[in-house]
A and B are shown apart, each in its own frame.
Chain A
Amino acid sequence: MDALAAKVMAVIAKTQRIPPETLSIDSSFEELKIDSLDGINIIFAVENEFSVNIPDEGVQNLKTVRQVVDGVHSLLLQKAELLQKTEPPAPGAA
């Protein structure tokens, strides 16, 4: 989980063009001056990084770094379960 959090934070820092040390797992988007447009750009980068699809309705609720990490974590778990159940890999997993 720590490695995942570090990776998510690296993506956020890179997308926002801010030094990685300025954010922590407990940072809020508001503190980081991440507005709604920045938010969808971060989600886009996170989806690319982890090959997951974050549903539109979930995006509105993401307000902190921790929520993004938790969200990615659960999506990765779902994906792993799906992969175990279905052979060959599900569409979109590539």
Chain B
Amino acid sequence: MNRVAVTGVGLLCSLGQSVSEAWPRIAAGECGIRPLSDPGTPPYKFQAGAQVQNFDPLRHFTEKDLIVLERFAQFAAVAAREAVAQSGLAGSSILAEETAIITGTSVGGQFTEEEGYLRLYRENNPRVSPLTIPRTMSNAGASRISSEFGIRGPVYTVSTACSSSNHAVGQAFHMVRSGQVMAAIAGGSEAVFSEGLLRAWEAMRVVSPDTCRPFSAGRRGLSLGEGAGMLVLENWDHATERGADRLAEVIGFGMSSDAHHITQPSVEGPKRAMKWALRDAGIQPNRVDYINAHGTGTLANDSMEAEAIWSVWQQDSARLLVSSTKSMHGHTLGAAGAVEAVITVMALRHGIAPPTAGFLAKDPACDLNVVPNHPVFAPLRVALSNTFAFGGLNATVAFQRCPSAE
């Protein structure tokens, strides 16, 4: 079994188009949930979202590239470039021959799919673009990263709704740990602000009309977000030998299924995912100092998650720092695990537990220290990042500060 280092991170979200731009804002508790650029006709029941601001594809890609690259795939590639650049692996034979790429996305290229449906069903035009398939396919981001960097190892995409990219990061971790590959680019991306998808979320009645206040009294639901997160995971010894900066260590991964209900959360499933991650890491719960919670801001999720955390940490829950950064970058769905994994790595590296923004008052059903509105500065040892998806699919990744505290 090999140890696994994080040697690069990339981030794109409503608070910035790089880690260096977004992390300071997230650490400070700045909210990136803003009025929607298009309020909808008729107006959506919710009028706010965490959209990536002023993203100019031509800054990153040629016009020719963009013929086949949907917004979610563009996000994936941009975040991967940042992560790979930081890792220093670009151009190496390790990257070309012994690196995996695993990405997560919930819906893939939704805009192109909807354009096709417009032609078919509104315009009664049976001729849809021949690029519909390559633009919408969920692996478009992974394949772009592979082509761009000449990576010829295992490349694939996972789709498990809001757990997609935690499953991607976790599987990549296991592949590097087992020695199957020396490195992996893992993460995910999502671009959710298409009309069809917004109407579908509206119909579920889980989106907050204003903003997202996870774990808070008065919370009214989630806020949708878009973006991407990417991490370069690398064999620890390889990273050490080449003198790479190890940003954090990945130490455990747990997954579980509720086997319960398609949308209602359960306590047992998330509890088992967290316990599984701790067991996989070979650590006791008391080693954990911070949890980047799934914390969607819905009534059901947050009280369930609080109970699940309580059931594992019990009285020690009072010490544990728990925050939901979705209060700032929104719920990025299939990208959530990756966006929050990058934030968790930065939290460990800088010893800052980012806050839960928009917090109003304690909800007795969420009896946790949720780092309300202002960050907590503390030498965090181990941190977990949770994702719990519709369909009852849960995934938790455990990270440790570098250099390790032992």
B-contacting residues of A (Cβ < 8 Å)? 16-18, 37-38, 40-41, 43-44, 47-48
Contacts and interface: CB of A to CB of B under 8 A. Distances in A.
B127 A41 contact: no
A26 B63 CA distance: 24
A22 to B, nearest CB: 12
Interface stretch (B129-137, B162-170, B222-230, B392-400): B129-137
Interface string B109-139: 0000000000000000001011100100000
Contacts of B63: 17
A43 B63 CA distance: 19
Contacts of B130: 37, 40-41, 43-44
A18 B387 CA distance: 44
B200 interface: no
Contacts of A16: 64
Counting from the closest, the 7 A-B pairs by CB-CB distance are A17-B63, A40-B130, A44-B130, A17-B64, A41-B130, A41-B131, A44-B129
Contacts of B405: none
B64 A37 contact: no
A50 B170 CA distance: 51
B244 interface: no
B68 interface: yes
B127 A37 contact: no
B67 interface: yes
B129 A37 contact: no
Contacts of B131: 37, 41
Nearest to B129: A44
A47 B127 contact: yes
A78 B162 CA distance: 53
Interface in B59-117: 62-64, 66-68
A48 B62 CA distance: 25
A38 B63 CA distance: 13
A25 B64 CA distance: 21
A48 B127 contact: yes
10 contacts: A17-B64, A17-B66, A17-B67, A18-B64, A37-B130, A37-B131, A37-B134, A38-B67, A43-B130, A44-B130
Given A17-B62, A41-B130, 9 more contacts: A17-B63, A17-B66, A17-B67, A18-B64, A37-B68, A37-B130, A41-B129, A41-B131, A43-B130
Contacts of B127: 44, 47-48
A90 B66 CA distance: 37
A41 B130 CA distance: 6
A38 B131 CA distance: 9
A74 to B, nearest CB: 21
Contacts of B66: 17
A17 B65 CA distance: 10
Contacts of B134: 37
Nearest to A39: B130
Nearest to A47: B127
Contacts of A48: 127
A30 to B, nearest CB: 16
B40 to A, nearest CB: 29
Nearest to B128: A44
Nearest to A16: B64
Contacts of A37: 68, 130-131, 134
A64 B63 CA distance: 22
Contacts of A43: 130
A43 B127 CA distance: 12
Contacts of B62: 17
A40 B68 CA distance: 13
Contacts of A17: 62-64, 66-67
A17 B134 CA distance: 18
Interface in B297-315: none
Between A37, A43, A47, the greatest number of chain B beta carbons within 10 A of the residue's beta carbon is seen for A37
Contacts of A41: 67, 129-131
B65 to A, nearest CB: 9
A47 B134 CA distance: 20
A18 B63 CA distance: 9
Contacts of B129: 41, 44
A32 to B, nearest CB: 11
